[in-house]
A and B are shown apart, each in its own frame.
Chain A
């Protein structure tokens, strides 16, 4: 099992958001996490990546057999967890390629390897830039500064392609993308699918799942997984909306507390 989440509860600023998440992800699988706004999708993504101020109050998360919650943010990254951000942050004055190089070498250092020689690094980057159909000049611009929404998201996929994570978590990567950008992002993601790699796609809409077909679909409501299924569940949600799911969740919650 690559990732095993059991009865995970987490709060943000003292407010409980996740209220008992159970989820198992095997290598090679793609899981879609769907749900209405405020259901806890992004919180789950951030908790897995180790964001500060996201406090786990109970439950456990194991990643490749290790207690993930005991690992620092950067250790999780170095062990192969990658989060494609919903809102990638701008870092003025730091070129994209400089951050990439720092990231690649941080991981190599963690693995006890020497820094990647500059020539090899450049070769790798140039190859991956093509995958996301970005111009090379993007590499020399400051990280995300002045990038359009679509460029920022493609930049996330570029970083993912270069860092080759074991577990990739894509937090609403489809939001704010036009159809062309979405296709490019999907192509990048599909290229990275493989038997050693697992992916968690956090999304509000079914649209991205037309291009990246998930093995499993889970629906979150009120901080719990209320329904799991295959791709057809996503289509059902598209048709019927989230209302009926939320209603079910409320009934379950009432039954649990009542």
Chain B
């Protein structure tokens, strides 16, 4: 439209609603990283001996590794010695036994974010694990879930109560030395969620984790481990926010999913970390390793992500299709505006016969945002009749942003069927004029068109979160008129 470059700058500004800071006393380690810090974290969590050994091994590997340089992102060098690796809100004694003992400031924080931790106020049918900086502060509906045999707790608690399960599966999908950030996470992760769904159980509620970074100069390194035993089903959602700060903060998480024979895991993410301001000051570096293994035949893992936050997103939720007839899915909407950079996509590794994967990626770039899809479809020699369908669409708002697509294909079996489609488009003036002639404001018209563009992905989200994601996209796009 007629908007000049300076108009655009005016318009793309928007308040980040989750940008407040909670004033709470914390137990924070001084910045720096060495074997001593790894040991202190393990000791603070009173971990079994095998965990310390596992962490130290990861740390030693990490020391020999290099940051990956292949992603389409730019940032100043990260000083890993300037980061504090542990920060927890101070708690009396052994931590809260019930909600009454949780610091009211924490409850207020989650209420403000729209995540009430009181079960009676919760969204119907959703259990929440709330992670604040380095620790889990509350997991709701644990009793209800326990009745169905479902274990849903923080990974720290899982290490106390179910060490054998953690020991068996932790690092079995993402090994400690998988990549630089995964190794770092393995050494210093402080909390995260643990889920175990027993054989044949359909988890009666949606499970969710809400991650909140609050403290300054700290990194958040959480670890999520979800195991769906034979024939079980679980739908899991994670949400994330952080205060507005001028400094960048590092978030390096690892998520591992394991689906046994006939099991299904649906993992949805609505990522709204602080993206930084329009000058590119501040914001979260979101360097995350997410991978699922379809261990058993007829198992299914589905990743759905809506990524609107973070200064930099580096993340490739992947599926190892080990069992025959296993299904992997990746549905993604990634929005970059201001100076945000996203390099995201997936890896689908076909190992079993008749394995199928679907990749639908929708990238939206506004402001000076840079949006990259990077995906690998790998079909191993022994994977007969594997099928993949990939569709990568990019939408550009304005003329100072960028969209990039890097699809990699490695096919070693002649029976494979692989399809890839890619489009790049701008919102056309014809579309805007059409909507505005029907009475819609320019912003409403853009929102309508963008939501249409994302529809295939939004419809994969659980209902409540689809509405949430749509709203998030609306506010993120407010004024992003090109």
Interface set of A (CB-CB < 8 Å, partner B)? 49-53, 72-74, 76-78, 82-83, 85, 87-89, 91-94, 98-99, 102-103, 106-107, 110, 142, 159, 163
Contact = CB atoms under 8 A, between A and B. Distances in A.
B265 to A, nearest CB: 27
B435 interface: yes
Given A72-B436, A85-B434, 6 more contacts: A53-B429, A73-B437, A74-B442, A78-B439, A93-B453, A102-B435
B444 A102 contact: yes
B434 A89 contact: yes
A83 B437 contact: yes
Contacts of A94: 448-449, 451-452, 455
Contact of B452 (A51, A82, A88, A142): A142
A73 B436 contact: yes
B433 interface: yes
9 contacts: A52-B1, A52-B433, A74-B441, A77-B439, A93-B451, A93-B452, A93-B456, A94-B449, A102-B444
A83 to B, nearest CB: 5
Contacts of A51: 433
A77 B432 CA distance: 13
Contacts of A76: 437
B168 interface: no
A94 to B, nearest CB: 4
A94 B453 CA distance: 8
A106 B437 contact: no
B143 to A, nearest CB: 38
Interface in B412-462: 428-431, 433-442, 444, 448-449, 451-456
**Which residue of B428, B433, B456 has the most chain A CB atoms within 10 A of its CB atom?**
B433
B457 to A, nearest CB: 10
B120 interface: no
A52 B434 contact: no
Contacts of A142: 452
Instruction: Determine chain B's interface SS by DSSP, over half rule.
Output: helix
A106 B430 contact: no
A93 B393 CA distance: 13
Contacts of A83: 437
A89 B430 CA distance: 7
Contacts of B454: 93
A73 B449 contact: no
A78 B435 CA distance: 12
A159 B439 CA distance: 12
B50 to A, nearest CB: 50
Nearest to A142: B452
Contacts of A89: 428, 430-431, 434
Classify chain B: how many residues form its interface, as a range.
Answer: 20 to 34
A240 B434 CA distance: 36
B133 to A, nearest CB: 38
Nearest to A88: B434
Contacts of B6: none
Contacts of B66: none
B2 interface: yes
B455 A93 contact: yes
Interface in B1-41: 1-2
Nearest to B441: A74
A203 B444 CA distance: 32
A217 B30 CA distance: 84
A53 B438 CA distance: 18
Nearest to A92: B452
Contacts of A52: 1-2, 429, 433
Contacts of B439: 74, 77-78, 103, 106-107, 110, 163
Interface in B248-268: none
B460 to A, nearest CB: 13
A74 B2 CA distance: 15
Nearest to A77: B439
> Could you say which of A78, A102, A107 has the most chain B C-beta atoms within 10 Å of its C-beta?
A102
Contacts of B428: 89
A170 to B, nearest CB: 13
Contact of A91 (B431, B437, B444, B456): B431
A91 B2 contact: no
A74 B438 CA distance: 7
B438 A91 contact: no
B154 to A, nearest CB: 39
Q: State the 7 A-B residue pairs at the shortest beta-carbon distance, nearest first.
A: A93-B452, A94-B452, A93-B455, A106-B439, A103-B438, A77-B439, A73-B436
B448 A77 contact: no
The residue among A50, A94, A142 with the most chain B CB atoms within 10 A of its own CB is A94
B455 to A, nearest CB: 4
Contact of A106 (B1, B2, B444, B456): B444
B452 A91 contact: yes
Contacts of A110: 439
B448 to A, nearest CB: 6
A72 B438 CA distance: 12
Contacts of A72: 436
B427 to A, nearest CB: 10
Interface centre among A49, A78, A99 (most CB of B within 10 A): A99
Contacts of A91: 431, 434-435, 448-449, 452
Contacts of B444: 102, 106
A158 to B, nearest CB: 12
Nearest to B433: A51
A98 B448 CA distance: 9
B437 A49 contact: yes
Nearest to A110: B439
A225 to B, nearest CB: 24
B431 A74 contact: no
A168 B434 CA distance: 15
Nearest to B458: A93
B437 A99 contact: no
Interface centre among A53, A74, A77 (most CB of B within 10 A): A74
B428 to A, nearest CB: 7
A152 B91 CA distance: 65
A72 B431 CA distance: 16
B436 A77 contact: yes
A88 B451 CA distance: 20
Contacts of A103: 438-440
Contact of A74 (B429, B440, B451): B440
Contacts of B441: 74, 106
Interface in B153-174: none
Contacts of A78: 439
B450 to A, nearest CB: 9
A83 B1 CA distance: 19
A159 B438 contact: yes
B436 A74 contact: yes
